[in-house]
């Protein structure tokens, strides 16, 4: 029942109520009329039982005619159960009641006048009858109920027709009425769906409102409540959007302004170190200053990249071979992590339209993430091919992976699986966030599939350039300690 719509349930309830009312009224009418008709017949039979021979045998216009009161049926039953005809002087009763032997034997045992009871003859006709002893035999007098049964049958047929018409009419009129009454709710539903479909991060689509027809009705009050909620949500969205925009502008401006002093800091530290004449402790301090300056510069560059992606800075589209990007990224990984084995399987030509530097950063960040966080000792597998109009790059490691509740957060900014926030293995928590932002800027998608016992696979999908090769060649090589492509 809960799966049915409110409109259907309302119509069903209305039809059920009408069906109950029609059934109850029809049953009461049928019982009342039957009681009345059968009561009249019982009264007539009881009247005939008073001085029955006189009433039955009163002549009419000639021999062989029935009583003028009402032509009854009668039979005489002796003590053996044999049936006989009522004989009157000069004529006999016009209609004879023929009973079955079982009924005749049952009536032969009557010792006093009975109350009216139902009876059927050998043809199955229904009667109301009384029986009483007369001159040593039993006289049974009966009146047929065929006329009353016919009247009741016609009443029952009329009630069925009227009930069917009432139910159909209730269903049709009820459906139309409920549909008309539910129109304001339909408008609320359409408005909510439109808002959900058009809602943007800046609150776009929240300016729609539900027309309020009558605020005194429940539907009108619901419409007002929905409009009030939309007003509040629109204000909150606008405030949050403005706050986010200010934060993004701040990050972009701060990142841009920090690049120059950081570059100068690193340059002066390197210059002082190269001049020499410093003791070992001072030289170590300068190297630490350079290292931290370099790390801070990378963080600033990452923040600037994210700020630009948030502001929708267009990507410089140019033909790029992803296989070459993979080669360069793997070479960079080998230089930074010479102890890690990398297995590569890549098609020779995988053209896309995009920014080569950004795509190199995407693949490099994914590879670095695998090299830093996969400590299982197994190789890093990189595959690049073309599937269904897309260039697909997969980077898989041997683990350990992340449980589902942690894997769902890997693309959040500044999030790291290390809850202690230690930097023993480096990283700012922005690598995969940048990957998602840059891939989205190229019209692609990135996914992160991980299992604790099996490892992690990061899949990058980019729209392939329309003029890519139909059957590319594939080359496989393994890089690692002492190996090369």
pLDDT (average), residues 113-124: 88
Query: How far, in Å, CA of 28 to CA of 40, rounded?
Result: 18
Q: Indicate the pTM of the whole model.
A: 0.48
Residue 321: count of CB within 10 angstroms of its CB? 19
Domain 318-479 indexed as CATH 3.30.565.10: yes
pLDDT of residue 424: 46
* Average pLDDT over the chain, rounded to an integer: 80
| Cis? peptide before 400, omega within 30° of 0 | yes
pLDDT (average), residues 2-24: 88
Supply 292's token pair. 């931290």
pLDDT of residue 152: 94
Q: Domain segments of the chain: what residues?
A: 253-310, 318-479
Report whether pLDDT(469) > 60. Answer: no
Under the banding of pLDDT at 50, 70 and 90, the label for residue 107 is confident
> Of the candidates 59, 86, 91, which has an alpha carbon nearest to the alpha carbon of residue 75?
86
Q: What is the tens place of the pLDDT at every residue in 384-428?
A: 999 888 999 999 988 788 888 787 788 877 676 654 334 445 556
Supply 450's token pair. 């991980």
The residues near 14 (Cβ < 8 Å, ≥ 6 apart) are 170, 171, 174
Q: What is the tens place of the pLDDT at every residue in 169-192?
A: 999 999 998 888 788 888 888 888
Q: What is the tens place of the pLDDT at every residue in 29-69?
A: 999 999 999 999 999 888 888 877 666 665 554 444 444 44
């Amino acid at each position: 029942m809960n799966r049915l719509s409110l409109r259907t349930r309302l119509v069903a309830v209305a039809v059920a109520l009408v069906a109950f009312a029609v059934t109850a009224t029809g049953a009461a009418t049928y019982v009342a009329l039957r009681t009345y008709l059968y009561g009249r017949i019982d009264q007539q039979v009881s009247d005939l039982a008073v001085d029955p021979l006189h009433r039955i045998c009163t002549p009419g216009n000639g021999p062989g005619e029935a009583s003028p009161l009402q032509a009854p049926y009668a039979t005489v039953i002796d003590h053996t159960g044999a049936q006989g005809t009522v004989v009157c002087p000069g004529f006999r009763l016009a209609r004879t009641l023929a009973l079955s032997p079982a009924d005749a034997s049952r009536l032969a045992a009557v010792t006093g006048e009975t109350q009216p009871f139902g009876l059927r003859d050998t043809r199955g006709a229904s009667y109301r009858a009384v029986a009483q002893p007369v001159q040593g035999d039993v006289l049974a007098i009966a009146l047929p109920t065929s006329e009353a049964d016919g009247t009741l049958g016609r009443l029952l047929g009329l009630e069925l027709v009227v009930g069917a018409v009432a139910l159909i009419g209730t269903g049709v009129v009820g459906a139309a009425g409920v549909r008309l009454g539910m129109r304001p709710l339909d408008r609320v539903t359409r408005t909510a769906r439109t808002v959900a479909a058009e809602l943007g991060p800046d609150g776009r689509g929240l300016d729609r409102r539900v027309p309020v027809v009558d605020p005194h009705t429940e539907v009108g009050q619901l419409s007002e409540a929905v409009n009030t909620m939309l007003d509040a949500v629109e204000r909150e969205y606008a405030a949050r959007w403005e706050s986010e925009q200010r934060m993004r502008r701040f990050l972009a401006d701060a990142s841009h302004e920090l690049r120059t002093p950081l570059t100068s800091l690193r340059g002066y530290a390197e210059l002082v170190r190269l001049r020499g004449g410093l003791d070992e402790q001072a030289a170590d301090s300068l190297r630490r200053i350079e290292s931290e300056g370099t790390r801070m510069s990378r963080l600033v560059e990452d923040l600037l990249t994210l700020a630009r992606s948030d502001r929708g800075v267009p990507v410089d589209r140019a033909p790029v071979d992803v296989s070459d990007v993979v080669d360069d990224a793997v070479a960079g990984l080998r230089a930074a992590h010479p102890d890690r084995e990398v297995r590569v399987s890549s098609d020779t030509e995988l053209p896309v339209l995009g920014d080569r530097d950004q795509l190199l950063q995407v693949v490099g960040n994914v590879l670095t993430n695998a090299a830093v966080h996969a400590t299982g000792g197994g190789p890093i597998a990189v595959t690049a091919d073309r599937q269904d109009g897309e260039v697909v790059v997969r980077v898989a490691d041997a683990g350990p992976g992340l449980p589902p509740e942690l894997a769902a957060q890997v693309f959040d900014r500044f999030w790291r699986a290390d809850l202690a926030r230690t930097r023993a293995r480096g990283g700012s928590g922005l690598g995969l966030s940048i990957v998602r932002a840059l891939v989205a800027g190229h019209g692609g998608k990135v996914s992160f599939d991980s299992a604790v016992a099996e490892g992690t696979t990061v899949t990058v999908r980019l729209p392939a350039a329309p003029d890519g090769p139909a059957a590319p060649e594939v080359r496989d090589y393994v890089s690692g300690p002492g190996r090369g492509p």
